[in-house]
Amino acid sequence: EVHLVESGGDLVQPGGSLRLSCVGSGFTFGTYFMHWVRRAPGKGLEWVSRIHSDGSRKTYADSVKGRFTTSRDNAQNTLYLQMHSLRAEDTAVYFCSRGDPFEYWGHGTLVTVSS
């Protein structure tokens, strides 16, 4: 059974940094695209980033480009999202998801950006 488990969410001040992790199990992690998707309070789902199976190509939403970096360690079945220069509007539950379409999702980790 496929499992995705996110961690690393926290309360952080504006301008701060945070790294999220997502551990996958129940599938061959290194053969799938992986994504980060977020949902801010009262808003719809928003795609954040995608990384190819071997980590060779990464794409980002305009709203996070230049501030967020996604990476992966296929040996550890782990996906990462490094977030810098955080803003109040980055407050959201962050989900990792597998594939295209987004076939499997974790339960999310909450990031709150506030002073």
Residues that bind other proteins (CB under 8 A): 35, 37, 39, 43-47, 50, 59, 61-62, 95, 97, 100-103, 105-108
Min dist. Cβ of residue 68 to other proteins (A):
14
Closer of 17 and 96 to other proteins (Cβ): 96
Closer of 16 and 67 to other proteins (Cβ): 67
Place of tokens 């309070």: 41
Closer of 18 and 48 to other proteins (Cβ): 48
Min dist. Cβ of residue 59 to other proteins (A):
5
> Contact, 6 vs 25, CB < 8 A?
no
> Contact, 98 vs 24, CB < 8 A?
yes
CA distance 54 to 31: 7
DSSP SS3 for 11 = strand
Min dist. Cβ of residue 12 to other proteins (A):
22
Residue partners of 61: CB distance under 8 A and separation at least 6? 46, 47, 48, 49
Min dist. Cβ of residue 47 to other proteins (A):
4
Q: Which amino acid is at 50?
A: R
Closer of 14 and 99 to other proteins (Cβ): 99
